[in-house]
Amino acid sequence: MAKRKGPTPKAEDRHWHGKRQKARAVKSAKRTGTPTLGPGARAQGPSENRPAGRPAGARRATGEVPELVTGRNPVVEALRAGVPGTALYVTSGTDERVREAIQIAADRRIPLLETGKNELDRLTDGAVHQGIALQVKPYRYAHPDDLLKGTAPLVVAVDGITDPRNLGAIVRSAAAFGATGVVVPERRAAGVTAGAWKSSAGTLANIPVAQATNLSRQLKAYQKAGCFVAGLDAAGGVTVADLELASGPFVLVVGSEGKGLGRLVADTCDMLVTIPMPGKAESLNAGVAAGIALYEISRLRA
């Protein structure tokens, strides 16, 4: 048997102890600017960290940590798309794409911060940045009730969409066809990131996105408020073009391309509607399906 070298360390001094893990998480957060939840920690729930006097149903601000877009092409594309940057970090301005990014940032009055490679490595937590990074301000979500504007609101609810690019495409279609807003689940779903901003082609600046703690419960709340809720599903018995009830207060629910609508969400809908597809494709991309359905709904509401 091997001899033990030195005194046995206390439990709190061992690497697996909760205090040590928490200390490392705090140190990492200070270094990267991104909070880290270590083992045993839990995210704050809806009732935690609520400002005094704020009602339980009010939407709190989420995404307090800024997002960093790194790399020459991604940064330039984000700036071209109007992604709301708060700072542009650059180590050198000799590359053509870097110079373009600097020019766009200057035109949009985004602060330019010259930094060294080591500092940018630290800010991006070692990501491949190619000497440039764009800091994107956190998105402030609306409350789901705020989307019920006018006498005949049109809300797009998104279920099971995990790709921010799909979310951005849906937002773009919602803005194009007169929707009053988009609501997404708070958990296990895509949120408003730089990727969503880019695919929305800047329309996220013109249409609110809300988060719902429980999408099925929120759909029931919309029904109580007088909205007709229709889920887009291949098994729907009515085509979108024949949905006359879409002319009033209306909620269109769009599911993911692979799994479609969740069972609880589908059961909550007043009706399932479909898009006829005489071709050979089995399904449509969620963004494409939402665009087609919203076009038909806009014709019915005209």
Segments forming the whole domain that contains residue 192: 140-301
- Domain end among 114, 136, 158: 136
Position 58 in a domain = no
Specify whether 192 is located in the same domain as 281: yes
Say which residue the tokens 């697996």 belong to.
16
Convert 65-100 to b/e letters by CB count within 10 Å (16 or more is b): eebbbbbbebbbbbbebbbbbebbbbbeeeeeebee
- Total domains present in the chain: 2
Position 229 in a domain = yes
Specify whether 241 is located in the same domain as 285: yes
Specify whether 224 is located in the same domain as 109: no
Q: Using 50, 70 and 90 to split pLDDT, how confident is the model at 2?
A: very low
Specify whether 261 is located in the same domain as 195: yes
Tens digits of residue pLDDT in 211-261? 999 999 999 999 999 999 999 988 888 999 998 889 999 999 999 877 889
Specify whether 199 is located in the same domain as 292: yes
Specify whether 101 is located in the same domain as 121: yes
Q: Using 50, 70 and 90 to split pLDDT, how confident is the model at 173?
A: very high
Among 260, 265, 287, 290, smallest CA distance to 275 is for: 290
Determine the pLDDT at residue 125. Answer: 85
Residue 43 tokens read as 């995210």
Position 17 in a domain = no
Position 189 in a domain = yes
Position 190 in a domain = yes
Determine the pLDDT at residue 94. Answer: 76
Do 96 and 131 meet the contact criterion of CB atoms below 8 Å apart? no
Specify whether 236 is located in the same domain as 265: yes
79-83, 208-212, 265-269 — which is least confidently predicted? 79-83
Q: Using 50, 70 and 90 to split pLDDT, how confident is the model at 8?
A: low
- Domain end among 136, 169, 188: 136
User: Tell me, what CATH number does 162's domain have?
Assistant: 3.40.1280.10
Specify whether 265 is located in the same domain as 126: no
Determine the pLDDT at residue 294. Answer: 96
Position 75 in a domain = yes
User: Tell me, what CATH number does 77's domain have?
Assistant: 3.30.1330.30
- The mean pLDDT value of the chain amounts to 80
Convert 132-168 to b/e letters by CB count within 10 Å (16 or more is b): bbbbbeebebbbbeebbeeeebbbbbbbbbebbbbbb
Specify whether 131 is located in the same domain as 182: no
Position 1 in a domain = no
State yes or no: pLDDT of 33 exceeds 80.
no
- Domain end among 75, 105, 136: 136
Position 156 in a domain = yes
Tens digits of residue pLDDT in 53-81? 333 333 444 445 678 898 898 899 889 88
Specify whether 167 is located in the same domain as 153: yes
Beta strands in 145-277 (DSSP E): 154-158, 181-185, 209-212, 228-232, 238-239, 250-254, 271-274
Specify whether 153 is located in the same domain as 242: yes
Specify whether 177 is located in the same domain as 293: yes
